[in-house]
């Protein structure tokens, strides 16, 4: 390989590294972290979600399973994998995007995720979090009863 260094990897996809059960564990841990940080570092993100997160744990796990290279569980159930439409009613700016990424990073910390997998996911996770962003700037919402600002 002239002029380049071959990068050895154990996994071709994140699904290969985690499997379906591992992705669901990551998803559950992500929402546990979001719940714990819901009064501090992830307040705006937590406020967008229903009190009961059990349905979202399943839905995001299904989405991430297909997104990470596994069976298309989300598409099988919902027919589409478009993430912008379900999020369009929420004011998602850079702050909310970054809170989502923080919760995912802390979830990977808790699960002691391998560095190779973290590197594999770093840019794609940012891209997916940024893809649902629908505001250029943060909106300060001081009303706890309002979860969607149009």
Residue 9 included in any domain: no
- The string of DSSP codes covering 39-92 is TTTTHHHHHTS-S--HHHHHHHHHHHHHHTTS--HHHHHHS---SHHHHTTS--
Q: Kindly state whether residue 127 falls inside one of the protein's structural domains.
A: yes
Q: What is the pTM of this model?
A: 0.83
Q: What is the pLDDT of residues 50-91, one digit of tens each?
A: 999 999 999 999 999 999 999 999 999 998 878 888 888 888
Contact assessment for residue 63 and residue 83, using Cβ atoms and an 8 Å cutoff: yes
Domain span at 109: 17-131
CATH number, domain of 111, equals 1.10.490.10
């Amino acid at each position: 390989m002239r002029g380049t260094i071959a990068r050895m990897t154990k996994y071709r996809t994140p699904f290969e590294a985690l499997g379906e059960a591992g992705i669901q564990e990551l998803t559950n841990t992500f929402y546990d972290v979001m719940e714990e940080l819901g009064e501090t570092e992830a307040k705006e993100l937590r406020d967008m979600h229903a009190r009961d997160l059990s349905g979202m744990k399943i839905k995001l796990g299904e989405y991430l399973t297909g997104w990470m290279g596994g069976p298309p569980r989300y598409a099988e159930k919902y027919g589409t994998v478009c993430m912008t439409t379900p999020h369009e009613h929420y004011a998602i700016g850079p702050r909310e995007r970054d809170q989502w990424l923080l919760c995912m990073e802390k979830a990977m910390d808790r699960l002691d995720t391998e560095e190779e997998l973290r590197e594999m996911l770093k840019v794609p996770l940012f891209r997916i979090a940024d893809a649902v962003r629908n505001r250029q700037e943060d909106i300060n919402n001081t009303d706890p009863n309002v979860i969607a600002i149009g």
